[in-house]
Amino acid sequence: MEQGGPDNLVKTAVGVAGGAALFSPMGMPIVHGLAGIAVAGLSIFAVGSLAFKAVGAISGMENPLKPHRPVEREEIH
């Protein structure tokens, strides 16, 4: 691929225009909305992870993230 080809020029122009649009007064609500979605998603993930660990601890599992497999013992003759 050429360094100064038309495809590279279009990608660069779209990237610069998109970045400038996000920091314009019209684009700031979009940035704040994306940040809010990220915070909400992280919160939901954290609550789900803690709930899963709490249920595992209450039910007596040693490590709730890994399924319990009984250890097979070798018979001594």
pLDDT one-digit tens code per residue, 21-75: 777 777 778 778 888 899 999 999 999 888 888 887 777 766 656 666 666 666 6
- Both tokens of 8, joined, read 């590279």
In a domain, 69, yes or no: no
In a domain, 63, yes or no: no
**How many structural domains compose the chain?**
1
**Domain coverage including residue 41:** 23-58
- Residue at 34: amino acid letter: L
In a domain, 65, yes or no: no
In a domain, 38, yes or no: yes
CA distance 44 to 67: 23
In a domain, 68, yes or no: no
Is 0.75 surpassed by the pTM of this model? no
